[in-house]
A and B are shown apart, each in its own frame.
Chain A
């Protein structure tokens, strides 16, 4: 149980284009999903928290107009990197919990490697 998937696993795009990453909870309803960014050999940095049906809460320093998050259903959250630039290249990981505001254990997706040329 508690399986989280992400799609795509890897994406390469041109600078200036937008990229959408999907995060799905496969066997449970995820009332809360988190989006993280991981730099090479670094820890995970929390970008935003999204609760189903409400607007995402962004961490300080994360541009909400650049990283659009939609949590439209209990099993799907999407992160759209708009007008991507090379500095947005990173490993993006989502996690999901079944509790409101992440009260339960977070289960992580396999990550999406974004490369912006």
Chain B
């Protein structure tokens, strides 16, 4: 994940919005992904965005992409305790491989 960077921790109050940020370096990235990992489990695909899009909304999730700044964010509206997990952003390059960030641990407090 040296080409993809994320903040490591985020604490948010239940009911508030969470915003997780990610920066990447590969300008040829075609798709960018957000995955969720709960303790001891694999990765669950949350959402993805094609590189020619600026925004994608899917229920409580909103993805914003600033391709010029190579900045990706994931907003979770009305954060719930079940949203506590590690969130990984990943970029897919032209060789179809994924590069992951180190993950942001989101803790939802009551």
Contacts and interface: CB of A to CB of B under 8 A. Distances in A.
Contact of B88 (A34, A44, A102, A111): A44
A69 interface: no
A113 B40 contact: yes
A106 interface: yes
A67 interface: no
Contacts of B48: 105
Contacts of A107: 45
Contacts of B31: 105
A9 to B, nearest CB: 9
In this complex, the interface size class of chain A, counting residues with CB under 8 Å from chain B, is 20 to 34
Interface of B: 1, 4, 31, 33, 35, 40-45, 48, 88, 95-98, 100-103
8 smallest A-B Cβ distances: which pairs? Answer: A43-B1, A102-B96, A108-B43, A110-B42, A108-B42, A43-B100, A111-B42, A43-B102
Given A43-B4, A95-B43, 11 more contacts: A4-B42, A34-B98, A42-B103, A43-B101, A46-B98, A49-B97, A105-B31, A108-B35, A108-B44, A109-B42, A111-B40
